Amino acid sequence: MVIASAGSARAASAAAVPPPLIELRDIRKSYGGTTRGPDGQPTPVVDVLRGISVSIDSGEFVAIVGASGSGKSTLMHILGCLDRPTSGQYRFAGQDIAGFSADELAWLRREAFGFVFQGYHLIATESARENVEVPAIYSGMPVAEREQRAAALLERLGLGDRLDHRPSQLSGGQQQRVSISRALMNGGHIVLADEPTGALDSNSGAEVMRLLEELAATGHTVILITHDRDVAARAHRTIEVRDGQVVADSGKSAAAGSRASLDAAALIGSMAAGVERTASFAADTREALRAAWRVLWVNRSRTLLTLLGIIIGVASVIVMMAIGAGTERQVVEKMASFGTNRMYVTPGGDNPRGPGGTLSEADADIVREVPNVAAAMPFLEGSVTVRHANVDTQVPLWAVTDEASRVLNWKPARGIFFSAKDEHQLATVVLIGKRVREKLFGDANPIGDYVLVNNVPFQVIGELDEKGATSGDADDDNVILMPFSTGSRRIVGTTNLSWISILIDRLDLADDTARQITQTLETAHHVRDFQVYNRAASVRAQTETQDTLTLMLGLIAAISLLVGGIGVMNIMLMTVRERTREIGIRIATGARQRDILRQFLTEATLVSGVGGGVGVACGLLIGAALIAAGVPAIFSVRAIIGAFGCALLTGLVFGFMPARQAARLDPVVALASE
Ligand code: ADP
Ligand code: MG
């Protein structure tokens, strides 16, 4: 009973007096011991903080004073949750932060603390206003509000006309005022200032001190770290540190609590909601893209050089695919003009002692029904005497149907082709080749005139195009064409075909079609007394060679993309090394690991995206130049999108390792770099 009542009495008193804002109990920090030095031996253990116990209330203005090397900065990093103590307890508003996750510590840094460093620690590539905005980016403040608040803060600190200046364009005092504005961006309830006047001339230093006093007067908790006793004297409380231990403490000032602007309990209460709060994904991505573009632009020539791999890779994919497709199309077209989408069925088997066999018009009708057969034309060859006036000549006769124009890919140069009606009516009409016309008519127009074919009068209805010009065989121009019906029945005297000429639709199905023709005819004839010649097979072989060539070209392009990817990784590793301090600054102002990861991944993707874009542009330009120069090239949208996508993917894959390295940096080490 006695024990219980004592316990409840303690609980009641705890409720009445809120816990201190910050309470350190026996904080120790030592370096070394675990990591191995250059000689392979463990580094010696250095005890930097040796049991610090301090409590600071909301609204206090405290100076931590001590000689250089006494452990002040180490203490500040622990106070600001940038570093964890080796041992001891840190309670923030009564909560032991040992139990806080990395994201919760990041939240505490951006919502509760505001850092002011001796070296200002501004991001060199960003303007004054953008530097001030950084903590608000990570707390998810809307863009318009963020920009307006940053401008207002800078204005209040006398930098209204320096908003768009880069840190390098500002004096030390101005830079320190920018960093104070940044500390106040998310409220800056607790300002942690580590030697804020250390790098400044006396005037600027006095200005900064006046600002800190003003902040303290308006209720901010200010923890000022200095080695200068005169500066320390401006604070309301002085804590002296020597060799990692507190040696003197002037004690809390009574008035602090009444001034305090921060309700620590309420702040902690809002943690759960605040930790997860970010801007929308789109806003975050836009912000990451903006920052990434800035960095690329600043280093544009170096970036472009590193991107050559990707540019060459993407451009060569596009150009090579275009040339590959163009050449393939050209080959196929040339083969087609030589009659490769054609097949022939000839009478007689491949065995000379086998059945002789004949082919009739009915066989052509059967073949025409086979799928993929566009035309099946009976073809009868004979030899005739043609006479006009007193000239006669012996020429080959081709008795064909009205499909001949299509199947033979042959048009009249003048006059017309015979029709299905002519075929039907056994019309005595004839088309003559160019050389026949020259022999019989000279330069005169033969159309409408009559000739005697084996003494039967025929009307000349057309003169055929010169075929020798394309086929290289001038004898093809020394023929006459007439309807199959007329030729077979009235001139040659047999309806047994010389062969069937077949035109097919799809070249890639040629083998199948040939097989089906064979089967169909064999079923009809009961024996294989014919042969199918498939000229398409040779085209397919050609196309396959082309495909291999395209594949090889693609492989070369893939290798250059790989080289490009390594380039991206290289540039990103370099970027991370160069900007280690920036990463430290971002973490100190409240960035989570995933914010850093996203930023660097975005940069890597943007780098390779720019490379891919330039590559696409180069590829199109080169391709257009080649087309203009007469090289056959066909752009493929799929190749363009594919190559660009590969470039983006390359950035993501090869950028991941450097980005993760950046996100895992220790903020204290990062801030100390350079
Ligand atoms: P102050 O800010 O008071 O000048 P610091 O806190 O920066 O002092 O450093 C205190 C001591 O801790 C110094 O002697 C310094 O050499 C040592 N120290 C600081 N950081 C490290 C580290 N990462 N590794 C080893 N020793 C360190
Ligand atoms: Mg220091």
The per-residue pLDDT of the chain, averaged, comes to: 86
CA trace torsion 116, 662, 170, 64 (10° rounding): 20
| 3-class secondary-structure state, position 197 | coil
71 CB near ligand 1 (under 6 Å):
yes
- pLDDT single digits (tens) 600-616: 999 889 988 999 999 99
- C-alpha of residue 226 to centroid of ligand 2, in Å: 8
Contacts of 392 (CB under 8 A, 6+ apart): 385, 386, 452
Mean pLDDT of all residues in 361-367:
91
Residue 597 tokens, joined: 């990861």
Please state, in angstroms and as integers, the Cα–Cα distance from residue 621 to each residue in 168, 554, 610, 646, following that order: 40, 19, 16, 20
Contact 527, 355 (CB under 8 A): yes
109 CB near ligand 1 (under 6 Å):
no
Alpha carbons 125 and 65: distance in angstroms, whole number: 34
Alpha carbons 322 and 553: distance in angstroms, whole number: 11
Q: What phi-psi label fits residue 669: left (phi over 0), alpha (psi between -120 and 50 degrees) or beta?
A: alpha
Atom of ligand 1 nearest to the CA of 74: 6
Please say if the pLDDT value at position 244 is more than 50: yes
> Hey, which residues does 25 pair with through a beta bridge?
89
Per-residue pLDDT band at 182 (split at 50, 70, 90): very high
226 CB near ligand 1 (under 6 Å):
no
67 CB near ligand 1 (under 6 Å):
no
Atom of ligand 1 nearest to the CA of 669: 23
- C-alpha of residue 452 to centroid of ligand 2, in Å: 117
85 CB near ligand 1 (under 6 Å):
no
45: exposed, middle or buried (C-beta count within 10 Å: 0-12, 13-18, 19+)?
exposed
Atom of ligand 1 nearest to the CA of 48: 12
Strand 61-65 and strand 46-56: the pairing is: unpaired
Contacts of 633 (CB under 8 A, 6+ apart): 319, 322, 323, 325, 326, 623, 626, 627
Pocket test for ligand 1, best of 74, 115, 247 (most atoms within 8 A of CB): 74
Contact 360, 586 (CB under 8 A): no
Cα torsion 195, 196, 200, 203: sign: negative
- C-alpha of residue 302 to centroid of ligand 1, in Å: 36
- C-alpha of residue 673 to centroid of ligand 1, in Å: 14
Domain boundaries, given as residue ranges, for the chain: 21-112+189-279, 291-331+542-672, 359-528
Contacts of 173 (CB under 8 A, 6+ apart): 200, 201, 203, 204, 205, 207, 208
Residue at token pair 């409380």: 237
Confidence at residue 259, expressed as pLDDT on a 0 to 100 scale? 65
Ligand nearest to the CA of 198: 2
Query: Residue with the nearest Cα to atom 19 of ligand 1?
Result: 74
- C-alpha of residue 15 to centroid of ligand 1, in Å: 39
296, amino acid identity: L
- pLDDT single digits (tens) 129-161: 999 999 999 988 899 999 999 999 999 989 999
Burial 318-327 (b: 16+ CB within 10 A, else e): bbbbbbbbbb
Other beta carbons within 10 angstroms of residue 496's beta carbon come to: 14
- pLDDT single digits (tens) 500-554: 999 888 877 888 898 999 999 999 888 888 888 887 666 666 667 767 777 777 7
Burial 51-90 (b: 16+ CB within 10 A, else e): ebebebbbbbbbbbbbeeebbbbbbbbbbbbbbebbebeb
Residue 451 tokens, joined: 């000739």
650 CB near ligand 1 (under 6 Å):
no
Confidence at residue 79, expressed as pLDDT on a 0 to 100 scale? 94
- C-alpha of residue 89 to centroid of ligand 2, in Å: 22
Contact 517, 364 (CB under 8 A): no
Taking alpha carbons only, the member of 436, 397, 393 closest to residue 413 is 436
Contact 240, 251 (CB under 8 A): no
Confidence at residue 335, expressed as pLDDT on a 0 to 100 scale? 63
Interhelix angle 580-588/102-111, rounded to 10 degrees, is 80
Alpha carbons 480 and 380: distance in angstroms, whole number: 12
387, amino acid identity: R
Helix (H) or strand (E) holding 88: strand 87-92
Contacts of 434 (CB under 8 A, 6+ apart): 413, 463, 464, 465, 466, 468, 477
Atom of ligand 1 nearest to the CA of 68: 4
Per-residue pLDDT band at 237 (split at 50, 70, 90): very high
Per-residue pLDDT band at 198 (split at 50, 70, 90): confident
- pLDDT single digits (tens) 446-467: 999 999 999 999 999 999 988 7
Pocket test for ligand 1, best of 46, 52, 195, 223 (most atoms within 8 A of CB): 46
Output the pTM of the full model.
0.69
Please say if the pLDDT value at position 29 is more than 50: yes
Query: Residue with the nearest Cα to atom 1 of ligand 1?
Result: 69
Alpha carbons 95 and 22: distance in angstroms, whole number: 9
Other beta carbons within 10 angstroms of residue 385's beta carbon come to: 13
- C-alpha of residue 662 to centroid of ligand 2, in Å: 24
69 CB near ligand 1 (under 6 Å):
yes
Query: Residue with the nearest Cα to atom 6 of ligand 1?
Result: 71
Residue 481 tokens, joined: 């064409």
Per-residue pLDDT band at 276 (split at 50, 70, 90): confident
244 CB near ligand 1 (under 6 Å):
no
Atom of ligand 1 nearest to the CA of 66: 3
370: exposed, middle or buried (C-beta count within 10 Å: 0-12, 13-18, 19+)?
buried
- C-alpha of residue 671 to centroid of ligand 2, in Å: 12
Taking alpha carbons only, the member of 146, 149, 129 closest to residue 137 is 146
Alpha helix positions (H), 508-579: 510-525, 536-578
31 CB near ligand 1 (under 6 Å):
yes
The number of residues making up the chain comes to 674
- pLDDT single digits (tens) 367-393: 999 998 999 999 999 999 999 988 999
Alpha carbons 134 and 182: distance in angstroms, whole number: 7
- C-alpha of residue 293 to centroid of ligand 2, in Å: 34
Taking alpha carbons only, the member of 141, 217, 151 closest to residue 186 is 141
Of 37-51, 128-142, 160-174, 566-580, the poorest mean pLDDT is in: 37-51
* CATH 3.40.50.1100 for domain 21-112+189-279: no
Contact 164, 127 (CB under 8 A): yes
Strand 245-249 and strand 342-347: the pairing is: unpaired
More confident residue, 256 or 348: 348
Atom of ligand 1 nearest to the CA of 67: 3
Helices (H) and strands (E) in the chain, counts: 26, 20
- pLDDT single digits (tens) 409-439: 888 889 999 999 999 999 999 999 999 999 9
Confidence at residue 6, expressed as pLDDT on a 0 to 100 scale? 41
Atom of ligand 1 nearest to the CA of 244: 10
> Hey, which residues does 29 pair with through a beta bridge?
49
281: exposed, middle or buried (C-beta count within 10 Å: 0-12, 13-18, 19+)?
exposed
Confidence at residue 430, expressed as pLDDT on a 0 to 100 scale? 95
Q: What is the 3-state secondary structure (H, E, C) of 238-284?
A: EEEEECCEEEEECCCCCCHHHHCCCCHHHHHHCHHHHHHCCCCHHHH
Burial 92-112 (b: 16+ CB within 10 A, else e): bbebebeebeeebbbbbbbbb
Please say if the pLDDT value at position 34 is more than 80: no
- pLDDT single digits (tens) 301-352: 888 888 888 888 889 888 888 888 888 777 767 666 656 678 889 888 766 6
Please state, in angstroms and as integers, the Cα–Cα distance from residue 545 to each residue in 74, 331, 332, 568, following that order: 70, 11, 12, 35
34 CB near ligand 1 (under 6 Å):
no
- C-alpha of residue 126 to centroid of ligand 1, in Å: 30
186 CB near ligand 1 (under 6 Å):
no
Alpha carbons 525 and 355: distance in angstroms, whole number: 11
- C-alpha of residue 33 to centroid of ligand 1, in Å: 15
Atom of ligand 1 nearest to the CA of 227: 3
Strand positions, DSSP E, 95-162: 95-96, 113-116
Helix (H) or strand (E) holding 416: none
Residue 550 tokens, joined: 């395209």
Taking alpha carbons only, the member of 98, 15, 18 closest to residue 265 is 18
